[in-house]
Chain A
Amino acid sequence: MYGFEALTFNIHSGYLEAIVRGHRSGLLTAADYNNLCQCETLDDIKMHLSATEYGPYLQNEPSPLHTTTIVEKCTLKLVDEYKHMLSQATEPLSTFLQYITYGHMIDNVVLIVTGTLHERDVHELLEKCHPLGMFDSIATLAVAQNMRELYRLVLVDTPLAPYFSECITSEDLDDMNIEIMRNTLYKAYLEDFYDFCQKLGGATAEIMSDLLAFEADRRAVNITINSIGTELTRDDRRKLYSNFGLLYPYGHEELAVCEDIDQVRGVMEKYPPYQTIFAKLSYGESQMLDKAFYEEEVKRLCLAFEQQFHYGVFFAYMRLREQEIRNLMWVSECVAQNQKSRVHDSVVFIF
């Protein structure tokens, strides 16, 4: 019932929308980042953060701080907020919220599998996993030797199971395989999420399809750039692109045959929304591309808050908070390693 969400939206989700909008106003502002950038030590950062919403999470940390502690505690705050929202949510919002975490699940699976492949300790790996993407039997991933086992032993119980249908092979796991698996999973996940949002309809579908399309396109570009010069065939590459988004289908055909970054740029500049991103970069440069994409994403996510009565705000908030945590990590790393001149290289201001 497009156009009528406003009538009934608040019955189930009004409270949570208010909550998430309240959380959004707690995001760090440009003034906060300016102050953070002037910090001399990690203690200064802690002191500054103690005046923000992160305060209660950091106040009990003993003094020689590490970047990891800061990031860990900040993530903990996000996780607490997420859990609160999830426990208050009703269908279909709860499913929507769970969809948000699947991306982290995929990353965690890949992290553990790659780690065990390189003979790392499982518990050490578990600490590195994003807490939003945890599931019960995640530690057992280490047992699996190939994709089929991975699926049959562990993933069949997780929400990721349906996404696995594309990549069940009996090949032994290696780095290349795993990377392909990650992208196949991601592709399936994004398509599923996209379909789910379309099913929800209304403003949610409208806003989420825009955000997810951007996500899909960004992945397509990243896959292309990362696979240049590898043994991945064009057809395989083509298979990893998600089947929606602005680039679908013609852009994908062109991206699939790209051989260097400038060709990618040529393809992307045909699409007006992406023109601005590539206009900022000089030719042959791919380092700054990530930041440019992040900036564009943040801009789009912020726009999601302009409309009311849709679920996109939850997705946007989670993403913005993650971006903020990435920013904090970068700032504190720069401060810790005395590289303050590089602070602005990767910080994406949110407002």
Chain B
Amino acid sequence: MEYLDNLPPMDLMRSEKMTFVQLIIPVESAHRAISYLGQLGLLQFRDLNDEKSPFQRTFVNQVKRCAEMSRKLRFFKDQIHKAGLLPSPHPASQPDIELEELEMQLAEHEHELIEMNSNTEKLQQTYNELLEFKMVLQKASDFLVSSRSNSTVQEREMVENVYSNDDYADTASLLEQEMQPGPSVQSGVRFVSGIICKSKVLTFERMLFRATRGNMFFNQAAADDQILDPSSNEMVEKTVFVVFFSGEQARTKILKICEAFGANCYPVPEDVTKRMQITREVSSRLSELETTLDAGTRHRDKALTSIGFQLVKWMNMVGREKAVYDTLNMLNFDVTKKCLVGEGWCPIFAKTKIQEALQRATFDSNSQVGIIFHVMDAVESPPTYFRTNRFTSAFQEIVDAYGVANYQEANPAVYTVVTFPFLFAVMFGDWGHGICLLLGALVLIARERKLGTQKLGSFMEMLFGGRYVLLLMSIFSIYCGLIYNEFFSVPFHIFGESAYKCRDSSCSDARSIGLIKSRDPYPFGVDPSWRGSRTELPFLNSLKMKLSILLGVVQMNLGIILSYFNARFFGNSLDIKYQFVPQMIFLNCLFGYLSLLIVIKWCSGSQADLYHVMIYMFLSPFEDLGENKLFWGQGVLQVILLLCAVVAVPWMLFPKPFILKRLHTERFQGRTYGLLGTSDMKIDDEPDSARQHQEDFNFSEEFVHQMIHSIEFVLGAVSNTASYLRLWALSLAHSELSTVFYEKVLLLAWGI
């Protein structure tokens, strides 16, 4: 006890001591103070305006302005992205600018961009139209030529009065000619030509067919070039079509359908020379427009590039500004409306830093009144804050994924720094693999500064975040690999000669009878001669299995001992007496004993069957152990241990809730008026139980809680021990797989 009391305070293991502070900030220096505090990052503000909706808060207008600015910035980013440029920070960046100025600049830029975009869009539209017209002219002229020859054929057919049914188009036009001997130029057939999206052609044709009851002839040809769709900014494939029909009604219908389908119709003169002339005109205008468009795009790209230089900086600035105003919204105005009052948590060590920052803020903003910073009492329990560095943060994150410790509770992350990579190495020990991993980790660490500023993909981000975990894992993996003597499953004689040798020089009976021991044991790790022998698996399995149980029991004991330090720290003697002690007894009577047996068996070289010992310790504790006896008095010891374990279960289950209940009734029934001072003290330095007393003490709830805890512990002790066997299982799987890989892939591939 004496020794435990004199232990160093273990600062690393506990979260930082926090204190509740109040800030009273004059309005004129508020913004600067908050932004300095934000850069410091050591104060957590409490939202004092919880009941107000976001738009009723004080600085809502500024937040809105920031949101609007970030919208504009997103628009720029989008535009830059669309133009295919990369936003790169300019080396010689301009001096810092004020937010108001930035706002004006952004508005200007946005206005300019939108104007340019609309101009480009208009030009693009005309350009598209001309391009489409050109295509229609080219394609439609082919159709017209062929249709003219067709129609002469038709006329001849009509003269001969032959009804040919083989070609539908022919019959259709024949019917039309019979019905409507119209005044049109040639056989009453007229046409509409235009261009339409390729995807719509089928339905378009079907619709035309239905609308004209089949009295039309549809010709189509794919356009040569793709056309830019201004709305989606994508290239679209289009199809030129020419519809032949007769009659005015059909014409209106067809035009309506064209409009409905978004098909652009262009008139194509039937006269060849006129057609040539228009084509020439269109082509010349097209080339003119192209140069204008190019100039516009260049201008726009230039503007966008100049924005791109600043974009990242601006985005950071606006984001920071928004964060500052969001924080300011958490503060309250005091009665005089001249000061802002804020409350929050900060670690005690940071108090001077915060005060410095506040002083700097007062000074920089030329404020007459300083910022008042003082400590207050708080009812609620403080937040947990661990100081981490780049080495420990990854481990802390791993632990936080399972649960965040309460305020000032022991932090398992300290031990995780070693245990996590070590358990990994027990499973995947291989010094070849370890060296590969080490190289990878070293590359990540060497390029830390460069990679830290970049935005990585989600997978790379994970690797980079855990680079120190990887480093430790690789080092431990090399260590364990040396112990296992694994190098891509090839045994190495690093630490001298093997202890075993063949019986004779031919080594013919090595696999059948075995080797003989000739030297001292191999100095470090597993003897390389085991590799490939018949007894390799039984030997390694037994070794690794026992090793994993030893590691498991040690780690579980560590966990329970941590709970002791927690209870001691919070002065909770109840937890020590009725939880820690029986838990220790239970675990060590069963699995601690097993570990003891393992060690004794290793030291004595006995052949006892440990399964048998453990199983019959429960099934028939009084039976004679026979040949499985390891030491004198084992039978008696086992009975005692079993009894202890059986006693430990009700011990951890029953007393605690009943004692809590007694304390509660004593406190509230006023039976111990005289003793109030002492019992109060006792309760007050037990924060956990104190809170239970403040709340409604519910005995059944407390009891069920304790029952669940006890059952969980008892079952957990068994199942966790079994789970630690996974260390062995994965190690086995890993070495077997690397053997298979070595023999079946590498050796076969090299043809050895």
Question: B-contacting residues of A (Cβ < 8 Å)?
Answer: 35, 38-40, 43-44, 47-48, 50-51, 59-63, 122, 136-137, 139-143, 152-154, 157
Contacts and interface: CB of A to CB of B under 8 A. Distances in A.
A35 B67 CA distance: 20
A51 B74 CA distance: 18
Given A63-B68, A152-B210, 19 more contacts: A35-B53, A47-B67, A48-B53, A48-B55, A59-B67, A60-B71, A60-B74, A61-B71, A62-B71, A122-B260, A139-B261, A139-B262, A140-B207, A140-B261, A141-B260, A142-B260, A143-B253, A153-B210, A153-B211
Contact of A39 (B55, B203, B211): B55
B260 A51 contact: no
B43 interface: no
Given A43-B64, A62-B71, A142-B260, A137 B203 contact: yes
Interface in B242-275: 253, 256-257, 259-262
Contact of B256 (A61, A137, A143, A154): A143
B71 A143 contact: no
Given A122-B260, A137-B207, A60 B54 contact: no
A137 B257 CA distance: 10
A335 to B, nearest CB: 12
Interface string B28-57: 000000000000000000000000011110
A112 B570 CA distance: 75
A163 B200 CA distance: 26
A142 B257 CA distance: 8
Chain B interface bracket (under 10, 10 to 19, 20 to 34, 35 or more) = 20 to 34
A51 B326 CA distance: 14
A143 B64 contact: no
B741 interface: no
A8 B256 CA distance: 51
B75 interface: yes
15 contacts: A35-B53, A40-B55, A47-B60, A48-B53, A51-B54, A60-B75, A62-B71, A122-B259, A137-B261, A142-B260, A143-B256, A143-B260, A153-B207, A153-B211, A154-B207
Contacts of B259: 122, 139
A142 B255 CA distance: 12
B56 A38 contact: yes
Q: Which of A39, A122, A137 has the most CB of B within 10 A?
A: A137
Contacts of A63: 68
Contacts of B257: 140, 143
Contacts of A142: 256, 260
B53 A59 contact: no
Contacts, number: 58
A155 to B, nearest CB: 11
A59 B74 CA distance: 10
A59 B71 contact: yes
Nearest to A126: B260
A47 B54 contact: yes
B115 to A, nearest CB: 14
Contacts of B63: 47
Contacts of A51: 54
A139 B53 contact: no
B62 to A, nearest CB: 12
Nearest to B262: A139
A143 B211 contact: yes
B55 A44 contact: yes
B529 to A, nearest CB: 55
A63 B69 CA distance: 10
A59 B55 CA distance: 16
Which of B64, B200, B262: most chain A CB closer than 10 A? B64
Nearest to A45: B55
Nearest to B199: A136
A137 B256 CA distance: 12
Contacts of B74: 59-60
B218 to A, nearest CB: 16
Interface in B200-223: 200, 203, 206-207, 210-211
A153 to B, nearest CB: 5
B110 to A, nearest CB: 9
Contacts of B206: 157
Contacts of A157: 203, 206
Contacts of A48: 53-55
A260 B367 CA distance: 75
B266 to A, nearest CB: 20
B53 A38 contact: yes
Contacts of A152: 210
A48 B54 CA distance: 7
A141 B200 CA distance: 16
